[in-house]
Amino acid sequence: MDLTTNSLLLTWTVFTPAIGLAAILLLLALRPLARWPQVFLDQAARGIGVVTTVVATALGIALWAGFDGSTAALQFIHRTVWMRSWNIEYFVAVDGLSLSMVVLTVVVFLAGAVASLPWWGALDDHHPHFSKRHVPGYWVLFLLLETGVLGTFAAQDFFLFYVFWEVMLLPMYFLIGIWGAPPRRDPDGRVRGGPYAAIKFFLYTLAGSVLMLLAMIAIYYASGPGTLADGTATQHTFNLPLLARQAREGTFLRAAPILGLDFARVVFVGLFIGFAIKVPMFPFHTWLPDAHVDAPTPISVILAGILLKTGVYGLFRFNLQLFPGALDWASYAVGVLGVVNIVYGAFVCMAQKDLKKLIAYSSVSHMGFCLLGLAAGTPQAVNGAIFQMVGHGIVSPMLFLVAGVIYDRAHTRQIEAFGGLAHRMPEYAAVTGLAFMASLGLPGLAGFVGEVLVFLGSFAATDPLFRVLVSIGALSVIITAAYYLWTMQRMFLGPFNEAWAHLMDMNWRERITLYPLAVVTVVLGVWPVPVFRMLEGTVGTLIGGLGH
Amino acid sequence: MGTNLWSILPELVLAGTLVLVLAADLLLRGRPDRPGALTLMATLGLLGAGISLATLPGTGAFFDGLVVGDPLGRFFRGLFLVAGAMGIWFGLLSEEVPRTRFGEFVVLILAATMGTCLLVQSRNLLMIAVSLELISLPSYALAGFRRGDRLSSEAALKYVLYGAASTGLMLYGMSLLYGLAGTLDLPSLAPALGRELASGAPPVRLGLAMGGLFTLAGLAYKVSAVPFHAWAPDVYQGAPTPVTAFLSVGPKAAGVAAMIRFLSEGFGSSATGQPFFPWPVVIGLIAMATMTVGNLAALAQDNVKRLLAWSSIAHAGYLLVGVSVGTPEAIRAVALYAPVYLLMNLGAFLAVLAVRHRTGAETMAAYRGLGTRSPWIAVSLTVFLFSLTGLPPLAGFIGKFYLFAAALEVGRPFFLVLALVGVLNSVISLYYYARLVRAMFLDRGAGLPSVAAPRPVAWLLLVLAVPTLVLGLFWSPLAALASWAAGLS
């Protein structure tokens, strides 16, 4: 296993947003000297933010172009010793799984960046739009978040991964809390709104990640010898490829039991809870609807498009790769929980009155497919689960952008409040229709491929239970179709509600964000091969340790 | 005798400075620049003590074994000198310390600092008691420094009463131990107690347990560990902010360091097998209770100073996790956590001081919208608060990582539970730290005045915030120092 540094491209990709962040901070620091007006600072921050995300996207695409998907070997390795006393390294590299997520990240953040630009066009704006408040601070946090997410997917050292994982938390907390909805009382008198949603998100995720921290330390002390980047031999290691190899050699099976229980199983459960909260898996999902409803549009886009994927990514990277035996042991539970996610999420969607909440619960439902695919563990199912991440990562940003379009105009998201909008906003109706169809899994669009592969792969699993699970899960497709079509009907069809006569159709900012995503949705729906080519070599290695 | 005196040269320098400050205080009477001059003198004195500490010749026992020169003691003495300097500077920046009595303030802080320095190198029960009193007496006076203020006076009275009770308890415990072992020297205590135990008389075990527990109680009181914590919230809230900042750092860390020495040298270390008094479990239970009580009580606080008081109780619990585990790795973790805790806790109190300076209030409401009213205070306070929570990439995370890793490394079920309780407490603590962050950034502070930090406060905040950030990413130098202190290198 050759793990020497061979490229700095990945490091550049990860830290490009950090450079933009530093540039904005520098502007802020120089402000007292240069006496710039606030407008200049705001525009400069926006400019730096967008340019940085564009550059990051270009670098991400360059990574993809230079990637050889046929092998499982790590590529674009950059490795150097960080903390010698704990054998911690700065070690970033990508395999197919990481790369697919890195590319998705840069694309979703680009869409988010454009969606963060302020309103323009002929519309009068009485509503205090989030994009005009504390602009430099917004972009600093936005870029910090991007570096955190990219680093999470690129890190190949457990400690480094943990640091990046936690770096994602802080900016998200502020982005939801400061730029989200102001506090309000819901009909039951409970206080809801951005600050509530932000701290709920923060507490849930931190509760998961402290378990991960303990699991990480336990894994470290159970690990075998390793080598640092400069060739120093060490007693223990945080190095993920090395840990994966040791896992295949049975190091963790021989580790001393914890509180009388099998080491691998205890650590598996600790990691699983940590990642499942982020997925989010039933019953840890309740932070998600709150966060989504009260986050500003671009942050919802990023949350649904990318942040949920970090949970599934962690399950594949750590639970599957390091503890395949424990996953075999837990596969029933994971599979059942996956199907519960799928079906429960779909049923809850039926009851939603708020468009954004409906989309949020549809995310719960769709992420269930990833869990089911992981539990089944066949090559098809795992490919499907990863494709589902990519597909959902493209489609759910579209959905949230669509919700943002109507909210920016009407200042409400109550589905019942609309009717016959297709007369007034035909273009919007068409784009929304496409996004809904993609999300409900219409063949030919990106949402279909992942779902069908997960179902096929799980049905092919040797264990008969999975056939039952697939049969139950397949029911959800009908429910999903039902709630989307019903929503379509209530919003766009029927008699036009004259109260909305002043609404305008989509503007160019919205087109720039939605059309490229729509194109990707169609292309990946018809021709998903580029994604599978990326994963070709990786998936086999990932599931190599499973018993079936 | 010459070597003996050399070994406590830093303390002698402190004593000299103390006398000089007293004299200068009289000579400079009526001069407006007196506080500044006294601060300068004290700073130079502390610097001199630091230099003499760094260049000290020997290690080993001095004064017939009353004090010991070792890396652990040296490390903590250096830390206490920094804490003392910070306490004095905070006093200069705060309006809560009357300018006319600034000399007294400086002298009291210097005396308490001397006490902490002596405590951490004490190797004799009597010396421990005397050093503790040398910390306590100035602390009482400091807590009640604002004589006209009812809260401050109440704090001082509470402090004295609790202090007197716990000192009595500790002396009783020590007398029991002396009665059993016939010695006050820690190194000879363990073998003597072991011989007594071997004789098999049942009262020995009881006396040993009582003596050990009562002596620990005195130290636990200084550390503000549950159930000896009840004084802390009132004292911390009522005392002037610079005093609170000093008390929550210096004496607390001194108590922890003295506990390590008392337990590992006087009672046999857990690393070397079964200690004859199950102190790892006792301390572990105290640690769990301290973390949990501190964090749960902090949840409901509206006064920010009181909130930080409960949080500092919780942090005493984290430090005790390291004491409970007791391996060299755990002592290293404590030695690493103490300076990190000093940075972030002092930083948080400095921000409180600055806000109070401008608004005269300490309640949550005074912090509303601070993010726009005073961005620099708000941002640095956020750094300190999230570091106290233990989020990477801040220094507080590294401290907790070392502590919990040391607990997990031993692999005993009790320590696993201890670590689990510890990390779950971090989650609880996030809630109340984030409440403050929420008030500063998420709530709109419309109509409240801007509270730009005075320039020296802003700089001092920077001095504390930068290492809190940097140590979270590059902590090798500090880790090397802590390893040296714990005897690992």
Average of per-residue pLDDT values in chain B = 88
**pLDDT surpasses 90 at A190:** no
The closest of B440, B438, B436 to B372, measured between CA atoms, is B440
**Would the CB atoms of B479 and A207 count as touching at under 8 Å?**
no
Residue B353 tokens, joined: 């001081």
Is residue A538 a contact partner of residue A319, using CB atoms and an 8 Å limit? no
What integer is the mean pLDDT of B20-34? 89
**pLDDT surpasses 90 at A183:** no
What integer is the mean pLDDT of B406-427? 90
Residue B118: its pLDDT value, please? Answer: 93
Is residue A445 a contact partner of residue A394, using CB atoms and an 8 Å limit? no
Does residue A373 lie within any of the structural domains? yes
Band the pLDDT of B58: cuts 50, 70, 90: low
User: Which of A427-436, B198-207, B266-275 shows the lowest mean pLDDT across its residues?
Assistant: B266-275
The closest of A366, A408, A411, A402 to A492, measured between CA atoms, is A402
Residues of B in contact with A134 (CB under 8 A): 372
Is residue B310 a contact partner of residue B298, using CB atoms and an 8 Å limit? yes
User: What is the distance between the alpha carbons of residues A125 and A509, in angstroms, rounded to a whole number?
Assistant: 15
Which string of b and e fits A109-122 if b means at least 16 CB within 10 Å?
bbbbbbbbeebeee
Residues of A in contact with B442 (CB under 8 A): 174, 177-178, 194-195, 198
Tokens 């998420």 map to which residue? Answer: B442
Residue B2: its pLDDT value, please? Answer: 63
Least CB–CB distance from B434: residue in A84, A194, A199: A199
Q: Which residue of A has its CA nearest to B438?
A: A195
**Would the CB atoms of A198 and B413 count as touching at under 8 Å?**
no
Residue A362: its pLDDT value, please? Answer: 93
Q: What is the ipTM of this complex?
A: 0.91
Shortest Cα distance from B380 to chain A (angstroms)?
A: 14
Q: Which domain holds residue A341?
A: 329-543
Residues A328-339 have pLDDT tens digits of 899 999 999 999
Band the pLDDT of B29: cuts 50, 70, 90: confident
User: Which of A257-261, B260-264, B345-349 shows the lowest mean pLDDT across its residues?
Assistant: A257-261
User: What is the distance between the alpha carbons of residues B318 and B338, in angstroms, rounded to a whole number?
Assistant: 10
Shortest Cα distance from B401 to chain A (angstroms)?
A: 8
Give percent of chain B with pLDDT exceeding 90.
49
**pLDDT surpasses 80 at B270:** no
Residue A193: its pLDDT value, please? Answer: 84
**pLDDT surpasses 90 at B137:** yes
Kindly report the three-state secondary structure assignment for every residue of A301-318.
HHHHHHHHHHHHHHHHHH
Does residue A351 lie within any of the structural domains? yes
Does residue A386 lie within any of the structural domains? yes
Q: How many CB atoms lie within 10 A of CB B357?
A: 17
Residues of B with CB under 8 A from a CB of A: 372, 386, 391-393, 397, 401, 404-405, 408-409, 411, 413, 416, 419-420, 423-424, 426-427, 430-431, 434-435, 438, 441-443, 475-476, 479-480, 483
CA dist list (Å): A230 to A80, A161, A225, A238: 7, 20, 15, 15
Residue B67: its pLDDT value, please? Answer: 87
Least CB–CB distance from B427: residue in A134, A206, A218: A206
**Would the CB atoms of B420 and A83 count as touching at under 8 Å?**
no
Does residue A378 lie within any of the structural domains? yes
Does residue A455 lie within any of the structural domains? yes
The closest of B20, B33, B139, B48 to B87, measured between CA atoms, is B139
Residues B390-415 have pLDDT tens digits of 998 899 999 999 999 999 988 888 89
CA dist list (Å): A234 to A227, B35, B441, B477: 6, 54, 44, 20
Does residue A366 lie within any of the structural domains? yes
Label the pairing between strands B67-69 and B60-62: antiparallel
Residues of A in contact with B426 (CB under 8 A): 206, 210
Residue B43: its pLDDT value, please? Answer: 94
φ and ψ at residue B449, rounded to 5 degrees: -70, 155
Does residue A426 lie within any of the structural domains? yes
Residues B428-455 have pLDDT tens digits of 999 999 999 998 888 876 667 777 788 8
**pLDDT surpasses 60 at A121:** no
Label the pairing between strands B60-62 and A226-227: unpaired
Residue A122: its pLDDT value, please? Answer: 45
Q: Residue B314: what residue type?
A: A
User: What is the distance between the alpha carbons of residues B451 and B378, in angstroms, rounded to a whole number?
Assistant: 10
What integer is the mean pLDDT of B333-362? 91
Residue B57: its pLDDT value, please? Answer: 65
What integer is the mean pLDDT of A219-237? 89
Does residue A210 lie within any of the structural domains? no
Band the pLDDT of B271: cuts 50, 70, 90: very low
Band the pLDDT of A128: cuts 50, 70, 90: low
Overall pTM surpassing 0.90 (yes/no): yes
Q: Which residue of A has its CA nearest to B413?
A: A259
Q: How many domains does chain A have?
A: 1
